[in-house]
Amino acid sequence: MNQEPKPKSGKKLRLDKILSHLGLATRSESKKLAKQGRIAVDGKTVKDSGLQVDPELSSIEVDGQPVRYREFVYLLLNKPQGVVSATEDRYDRTVVDLLDTEYLAFEPFPVGRLDKDTEGLLLLTNDGKLAHELLSPRKHVPKTYEAVVLGAVDESDGQAFAAGVTLDDGYKTMPAELEIVRNYVLDDESRSDIRLTIMEGKFHQVKRMFEAVGKKVIFLKRVTMGPLELDPALAPGQYRELSEDELRALRGE
């Protein structure tokens, strides 16, 4: 993975560094491209890949194609089951392993965690400041989960979650909102489809909240995080960049 420090916006950088940061060409490939006259800056062919350029102010083209410079990427992933929310892992595939090379150059990381067997909305970015704010316990960013639960979830569970339940380690959860979508019987067992919105993110929180009321989560999917919603067009394992509107909403603008 690219270990170069991230360029800061508003200053001049070597052309080859810009192209490598964007994952478009290695340093030696940039040198070759420049020699071959395939790189242009502000409409003029540039033969020296070491030229200092302000990527915010200048337009760069490779083979006539404009290069879009940005410092950060923001990816909305529908995390599939079976991959871990980490950037590297000795045994398991990670969410970063699902990304195309063009995004790896940014070194994105998951904002928070979903369990290996949980699917759904996961934001990946290299914007540490935004990630920090979203994860700050003081911010109480709401997250909604859909779950299949073994047992007949009822109004008393809703009241318990609204009041806060005590987890196995003694922690009392903040008020959470439960919606019972349906109760049914499958294979002679009571089951419930629910939606639960929590304002915090303790380890295995949703599963442990149901354990606290004597029930077991057998399927879990996150569908919202703050203003972001899981895009129904994304199959598990698929991702896309956030839209301008989504990014603005996330920043609270």
Cα separation, 56 vs 12, in Å, equals 9
**How many residues lie near ligand URA (CB under 6 A)?**
8
**Of 89, 115, 193, 231, which residue is the catalytic one?**
115
Among 114, 124, 134, 230, binds ligand URA (CB under 6 A): 114
Our finding on whether 115 is near ligand URA (CB under 6 A) is: yes
Q: Is 205 in the site for ligand URA (CB under 6 A)?
A: yes
Residues numbered 5 to 34 that lie near ligand URA (CB under 6 A) are: none
User: For ligand URA, which is the closer residue by CB, 78 or 205?
Assistant: 205
Regarding 93 and contact with ligand URA (CB under 6 A), the answer is no
Structure tokens at 199: 């304002």
Q: How far is the CB of 151 from ligand URA (least distance, A)?
A: 16
Q: Residue from 12, 31, 139, 204 that binds ligand URA (CB under 6 A)?
A: 204
Residue 96's nearest CA partner among 71, 117, 129, 73 is 73
Among 167, 158, 152, 148, which residue's Cα sits nearest to residue 220? 148
**115 included as an active-site residue:** yes
Q: What is the β-pairing status of strands 60-62 and 44-45?
A: unpaired
Q: How far is CA 95 from CA 109, 126, 154, 243, 247, in A?
A: 8, 14, 35, 20, 20
> Environment class of residue 194 by beta-carbon count within 10 Å: exposed (0-12), middle (13-18) or buried (19+)?
buried
221 binds ligand URA (CB under 6 A): no
Residue ranges in contact with ligand URA by CB under 6 A: 114-115, 118, 204-207, 220
Among all residues, which ones are annotated catalytic?
A: 115
